[in-house]
Amino acid sequence: MLSASGLLAGKVVVVSGVGPALGRSIALQSAAAGASVVLAARTRERLESVATEIRDRGGIALAVPTDLTDVDSIEALAQKALDEFGAVDALVNNAFVQPAQVPLLDADLTSIQSGIDINLIAALNVTRALVPALTASQGSIVMVTSMVLRNQLPGFGAYRIMKAGLLAMARSLSIDLGPKGIRVNSVAPGYIWADSVKNFFDKKAAAAGVDPKVIYDEIAAGTDLRRLPEPDDIANAVVFLLSDSARAIAGQCLDVNCGHTHH
């Protein structure tokens, strides 16, 4: 059974970009906090797996396979959420792709454009589709950005542009939607200790001929807490920002990186 905190009791939360790591955690933690969760991503099997996991824990979930680059598919997502639950109280824009880690001037322009379509334009279109429902519910939105906003790691130029644009979008939407009663905020995770980062560290360790724990310890040493955040750490921050406990927080970006950067 879900151990509900009650922070999102009775609310309906739409999560776009439900993958095996952070998206899954946001969905599970939202359900644990009492929300009915609408899961959106391209892959039906993944969505159904997370939806089943939520239901097995006593929660409520609706899986809606969605092409987040297609406006008609996004409109269908919004309509299915309303048909099923009658309202939408919160939206989490988590869908993302990460371009190849190369110097910005060497980045493939087609890859940059496709990344912008998912990391930026999709979030705008999903938000646009759900604004009427969120206005009716006096709801909230969270955009998932990244620590690349703050750091100086090379090779992340294209991704940094996309996530900086998403942060600017969140701030602009807060200005536009705040008078309608809709709160818009962001979270900026650092390295998230899940499969993609673990695989990245494994490759770095293999290239250096060391144990992966050495790479982890080197990176974690740059954080105040000497560890890397796990998916649930970021998801818990998202749940808080969606909840009425954060009802006076708007237009803000919360860094969730164990103190890897300060803001």
Closest CA to 31 of 57, 63, 68: 57
CB 47 within 8 A of CB 65: yes
Print burial letters for 181-208: b (CB count within 10 Å at least 16), e (below 16).
ebbbbbbbbbbbbbeebeeebeebbeee
Query: What is the rounded distance in angstroms from the CA atom of residue 263 to the CA atom of residue 254?
Result: 8
Catalytic residue among 85, 156, 159, 191: 159
pLDDT band at 234, cuts 50/70/90? very high
Any catalytic annotation for residue 191? no
Each residue's pLDDT tens digit, 171-199: 999 999 999 999 999 999 999 999 889 99
Query: What is the rounded distance in angstroms from the CA atom of residue 54 to the CA atom of residue 32?
Result: 8
CB 211 within 8 A of CB 262: no
The amino acid that residue 90 corresponds to is A
Query: What is the rounded distance in angstroms from the CA atom of residue 81 to the CA atom of residue 73?
Result: 12
Which domains are seen in the chain, by residue range? 12-192+230-256 (3.40.50.720), 193-228 (no CATH)
The amino acid that residue 20 corresponds to is P
Query: What is the rounded distance in angstroms from the CA atom of residue 143 to the CA atom of residue 139?
Result: 14
Each residue's pLDDT tens digit, 112-142: 999 999 999 999 999 999 999 999 999 999 9
| pLDDT over 70 (residue 220) | yes
What pTM value is reported for the model?
0.94
